[in-house]
Amino acid sequence: MGWRGRPAPASWPKTRVAVDEFGLIGRYFAPLSAGYPGALDLSDDAALIDAPEGEQIVATVDALVAGVHFVGDEIPADVATKALRVNLSDLAAMGARPIGYLLALALPTGWDEAWVAGFADGLRGDQDRYGIVMLGGDTVSTPGPLTVSVTALGSVPRGRALRRSSAAADDLIFVSGTLGDAGEGLRVLRAGEGGEDAAFLADRYRHPQPRLALGRALLGVASAALDVSDGLMGDLDHICTTSKLAARIEASSIPLSQPLRRRAGEATIENVLTDGDDYEILFTAPAARLAAVEAAARSASVPVTRIGQMVAGQGISVLDADGRPLSLSKGGFRHF
């Protein structure tokens, strides 16, 4: 998953509200499971989930830590939505339809009930947006920073999930949306910048947009896919490694938003290629399916751009407008 915050400010109140774990669950989280019988009102040890006929369950988990994966001074609803959406993005990249999620919430000493209420409101808003429910989870206290772990579950037609390992030589490489916005958004937040462009970029960092409709539309069209969480170079390397191929990328084809273009020149192309947290879909497809790719993009109302091609060999080459390789000093983000 993506990266990158800064040490959280001392924003937690010093007085803890007197409510125990089960009171917290019953008041704020059990209502988020309403309408899904298998969640058992969050009153049991686990949930019961049925796979739709002819489909497979897709499961993914990501953890967010204050000061690492988000800045730390966000309103609680923003923390909730980012934690949920980065997981939905994983489902989107496999072409899955989301079903629901489980939440593990580690609250720092000094948490207050108003923060939890705002956090639950953020979850509820995204449940309504994406048609999902809470299936279960856990709440604990921690002497460390706020930590949020979400496990998201979805379903995909049996045997049709999009995977990283099935690209072929000569496949075209595509990416949805624009790249580099979230990384620049983090820089904006760190610098405390204002203005319309800064607000757009900060929003891209704080509010990922999982491309669920596009992922479903790419079933049977894309040959391989994943989401761009750790940077284009790092994530494309996963496709190259698992598919045992190399890739050539045309730097001039990388899609950039207008706010980023107004800030970025040639000196920042490396940031665009290596910054994380964009949560766009990076995928490959045979040239013969180009029309189908374009149709999928239209049906999902998400722009898609061809940025390169898979080739025999190893590694990733990034070419400038004259076809000369660029030298990069860093790759995608790695936690360790």
Tokens of 117: 């209420």
DSSP state of 280: P
pLDDT at 41: 82
CA distance linking residue 126 with residue 77, whole number of Å = 10
pLDDT at 36: 82
pLDDT at 72: 74
Amino acid identity, position 186: L
The C-alpha angle 272, 252, 329, rounded to 5 degrees, equals 45
CA distance linking residue 100 with residue 42, whole number of Å = 13
CA distance linking residue 312 with residue 128, whole number of Å = 45
pLDDT at 217: 98
Which strands sit side by side in the sheet containing 304-311, from one edge to the other? 224-227, 281-285, 172-176, 304-311, 246-250, 316-319
pLDDT at 9: 39
CA distance linking residue 100 with residue 90, whole number of Å = 13
Residue 106 β-bridge partners: 140, 147
CA distance linking residue 334 with residue 332, whole number of Å = 7
CA distance linking residue 153 with residue 84, whole number of Å = 11
pLDDT at 26: 78
In the block, tokens 């993005």 appear at: 89
CA distance linking residue 85 with residue 132, whole number of Å = 12
Task: Say which residues have a Cβ less than 8 Å from residue 79's Cβ, sequence separation at least 6.
Answer: 64, 70, 119, 122, 146, 148
CA distance linking residue 112 with residue 206, whole number of Å = 22
* DSSP per-residue string spanning 202-267: HHHHHS----HHHHHHTTTT-SEEEE-SS-HHHHHHHHHHHHT-EEEEEGGGS---HHHHTT--GG
Over its length of 336 residues, how does the chain's per-residue pLDDT go in tens digits?
Answer: 332 333 333 444 444 445 666 677 778 888 888 888 888 788 777 888 888 899 999 999 999 998 878 787 889 999 999 999 999 999 999 999 999 999 999 999 878 889 999 999 999 999 999 999 999 999 998 998 999 999 999 999 999 999 999 999 999 999 999 999 999 999 999 999 999 999 999 999 999 999 999 999 999 999 999 999 999 999 999 999 999 999 999 999 999 999 999 987 654 888 999 999 999 999 999 999 999 999 999 999 999 999 999 999 999 999 988 889 888 765 544 443
pLDDT at 31: 87
pLDDT at 176: 98
Report phi then psi at 143, rounded to 5. -80, -10
Helices 113-130 and 76-93: crossing angle, nearest 10°? 30
Give the Cβ contact number of residue 102 at 10 Å: 21
pLDDT at 155: 97
Contact 229, 182 (CB under 8 A): no
pLDDT at 265: 62
Q: Strand, helix or coil at 129?
A: helix
Tokens of 79: 């923390």
Which alpha helices (H) appear in the chain, and where do they start and end? 21-24, 76-93, 113-130, 181-191, 196-206, 212-217, 232-243, 258-261, 269-274, 290-300
Which strands sit side by side in the sheet containing 133-142, from one edge to the other? 55-65, 147-157, 97-108, 133-142
Contact 119, 80 (CB under 8 A): yes
